[in-house]
Amino acid sequence: MAYSEANVIAGGLAHIPIVVGVFGLIQALILKGTTNKPPANGTEQGAKKEQQESPSTQLGSQSSSSQKTIKKPAHPNVPVNTYKPKTPFIGTVTENYSLLKQGAIGRVNHITFDLSDGNPLLKYVEGQSIGIIPSGEDAKGKPHKIRLYSIASTRHGDNLKGNTVSLCVRQLQYEKDGETINGVCSTFLCDIKAGDKVKITGPVGKEMLLPDDEDSNIIMFATGTGIAPMRAYLRRMFEPTEREKNQWNYKGKSWLFMGAPKTENLLYDSDFETYKAKFPENLRYTKAISREQKNPTGGRMYIQDRVVEYADEIFSLIENPKTHIYLCGLKGMEPGIDEAMRQAAQSKGLDWSELRPQLKNLEINIIRWNERYQIVEKKLNEICCIELPLRFKEERFVGSSIQFRIPNISNAEAKSFINKNKQLGVELKWFGNDNPNGFTSNHKSWKYVKDQNLEKSDEILSGLFDLRLPLSFDLDDCETIANIITECVEQLSLKID
């Protein structure tokens, strides 16, 4: 079952890739903040290397060529496909127990495998999946195919020894021609006993990894066993022994929306309640219990109804660039959540259908914008009479425009400078204009405040210019543009000097 990727929310609203498939992921990835802590999405040992290879450091080396392809950060230290279908790892079941309370619908089990003695060791990180090859043969006498399962444990495993992996599996059952059919692999998994041997492949997946940033906000939407990756995240964030082990001192805001048919079907509920009680400032936990609670129209309460209910707060969080959204579970919930987001956006005067596609490649586009920014910045920095904003290493910014200042330039010179640039094809905006020009305006045109005498501000604004850096400019264009500005400044600098 393939994943396809679409993106959801927007610009200031962060970039939110959604993986649409059997389940979806909405992940507001917002560029990783610089941190000295080990990254959550790599093995601890790989932390240093991963930081060195973060997108921001890659940028510097890419700025000289327009031909380089920008790729999504590759998470080089996240293990993938250590074990392949032809040579699977043989894991040993250590425990297999029901996660449901009496009276629940169906069968959902928590199953743990011992991974010790693997050569190489089967390592994984939170948000990945593993493959299981059930014993036996299919109707054609061929070995069964792999089924994927989201990993429900952290990389340290439930025993914190780093040598186990746990799954949360619902037995698939459906009716066909009056007969109850049991899913092959899910039944195999729910039936296995401690000590049984199981063929395991993987790990796979880099789409649902946690961000590095300890301050990030994590919104999670899960239905049923879609809780598996969220359980791994929540353990990493809030399980005291796990926190001690991982040294990832999570202090952001997280919010779990969980959909289940009945209270008895809520998975890992008491763990999450404990985390919420222990970390009330950091975790919210909202349940949609479809067959017990009613939505405002009297129908079953689904998590999308909760999205509408908390639209304002969810959108406020989404507007924070540190917010990441994950969605996992029934594919059917995705259109519902999409619709709920549309309503939520509308209530804020935003158009979801416009926001959603804009986010598709936002993470990559930010890298591309910054690459363009750095080319122009580097060139303009070489001109003595130009001042540019100081960019600190820790700062994350979107270089979709660049501002620079030419101190002491007179208004007449500024206008002539803009004209010269324009003749050579470079459109600059100027903050010294009394009247608004595009997106630049200064206080003299503001009707909602009384006239003010702001000499210092006027002096700064009169030398301040702005250049948009749309992605339709390639890197060579940026080089040319910077050269044109340099040429125009050089003509001007004689007068300034």
Ligand X SMILES: Cc1cc2nc3c(=O)[nH]c(=O)nc-3n(C[C@H](O)[C@H](O)[C@H](O)COP(=O)(O)OP(=O)(O)OC[C@H]3O[C@@H](n4cnc5c(N)ncnc54)[C@H](O)[C@@H]3O)c2cc1C
Interface residues with ligand X (CB under 6 A)?
Answer: 1, 22, 129, 147-150, 167-170, 172, 174, 176, 183-187, 225, 228
3-class SS at 108? Answer: strand
Q: Which stretch binds ligand NAP (CB under 6 A): 117-125, 300-308, 432-440, 474-482?
A: 300-308
- When asked if residue 260 is in the footprint of ligand NAP (CB under 6 A), the reply is yes
Interface with ligand NAP, residue 307, by CB under 6 A: no
Bond preceding residue 203 cis, omega within 30 of 0: yes
How many residues bind ligand NAP (CB under 6 A)? The answer is 25
* Residues numbered 315-374 forming contacts with ligand NAP, rule: CB under 6 A: 328-330, 332-333, 336
Residue 186 binds what, of ligand X, ligand NAP, none (CB under 5 to 8 Å, by partner type)?
ligand X
Nearest residue to 83 via CA among 32, 33, 54, 117:
117
What's the alpha-carbon Rg for the chain, to the nearest Å? 27
Which one, of 13, 18, 25, lies nearest residue 351 by Cα?
Answer: 13
**CB closest to ligand X, residue no:** 183
Beta strands in 215-371 (DSSP E): 217-223, 254-260, 283-289, 323-328
Burial class (CB in 10 A: 0-12, 13-18, 19+), 180: exposed
The reply to whether 165 sits near ligand NAP by the rule CB under 6 A is: no
User: DSSP 3-state assignment of 384?
Assistant: coil
**From its phi and psi, is residue 149 left (phi > 0), alpha (psi between -120 and 50) or beta?**
beta
- Judge whether 153 and 91 are in contact, CB under 8 Å: no
CB 432 within 8 A of CB 442: yes
Q: How far is the CB of 340 from ligand NAP (least distance, A)?
A: 10
Residue whose CB is less far from ligand NAP, 110 or 170: 170
Closest CB to ligand X among residues 109, 433: 109
CB nearer to ligand NAP: pick between 15 and 231:
231
Is 17 an interacting residue with respect to ligand NAP (CB under 6 A)?
A: no
Q: Residue 333's binding partner, choosing from ligand NAP, ligand X, none, with beta-carbon cut-off 5 to 8 A by kind?
A: ligand NAP
Q: Report what 169 binds from ligand NAP, ligand X, none; CB cut-off 5-8 Å by kind.
A: ligand X
C-alpha to C-alpha distance for 104 and 187, rounded to whole angstroms: 17
22 binds ligand NAP (CB under 6 A): yes
Give the separation between CA 155 and CA 468, rounded to whole angstroms: 44
Cα-based torsion angle of the residue sequence 476, 481, 482, 484 in order, rounded to the nearest 10 degrees: 130
Report angle CA 17, 20, 21 to the nearest 5 degrees: 150
Q: How far apart are CB 134 and ligand X at their closest, in Å?
A: 7
In the range 133-152, which residues lie near ligand NAP by CB under 6 A?
150
**In the complex, minimum distance from the CB of residue 218 to ligand NAP, in angstroms, rounded to a whole number:** 16
Which residue type sits at 184?
V
Residue 170 beta carbon to ligand NAP: minimum distance, rounded to whole angstroms: 4
Kindly tell me which residue out of 42, 131, 261, 463 binds ligand NAP, with binding defined by CB under 6 A. Answer: 261
Nearest distance, CB of residue 267 and ligand NAP, angstroms: 8
From the CB of 289, what's the least distance to ligand NAP, in Å? 7
As a whole number of angstroms, the distance between CA 280 and CA 274 comes to: 10
Q: Which is nearer to ligand X, 100 or 366 (CB)?
A: 100
Decide which of ligand NAP, ligand X, none touches 261; Cβ closer than 5 to 8 Å per partner kind. ligand NAP
**For ligand NAP, which stretch binds (CB under 6 A), given 51-59, 223-231, 234-242, 465-473?**
223-231
Q: Which two tokens stand for residue 278?
A: 């222990």
Rounded to 10°, the helix 411-423/475-496 angle is 150
Measured CA to CA, the distance from residue 11 to residue 3 in angstroms comes to 24
Q: Which does 183 bind (CB under 5 to 8 A by kind): ligand X, ligand NAP, none?
A: ligand X
Closer to ligand X by Cβ: residue 23 or 431? 23
Q: Quick one: 297 or 435, whose CB is closer to ligand NAP?
A: 297
- Of 42, 73, 203, 259, the residue at the interface with ligand NAP (CB under 6 A) is 259
Given candidates 228, 308, 366, 475, which one binds ligand NAP under the rule CB under 6 A? 228
Residue 332 interaction partner, one of ligand X, ligand NAP, none, beta carbon < 5-8 Å per kind: ligand NAP
Scored b (16 or more CB within 10 A) or e, 38-48 reads: bbbbbbbebbe
Of 185 and 345, nearer to ligand X (C-beta) is 185
- Give least dist CB 254 to ligand NAP, A: 19
Q: Is the dihedral of CA 298, 301, 306, 308 positive or negative?
A: negative
What is the Cα 42 distance to its own chain's centre?
Answer: 15
Residue number, 28 or 288, with CB nearest to ligand NAP? 288
Alpha carbon separation from 123 to 87, 167, 239 (Å, rounded): 16, 15, 20
Which residues sit at the interface with ligand NAP, rule CB under 6 A?
Answer: 22-23, 150, 170, 223-226, 228, 259-261, 265, 290-291, 300, 302-304, 328-330, 332-333, 336
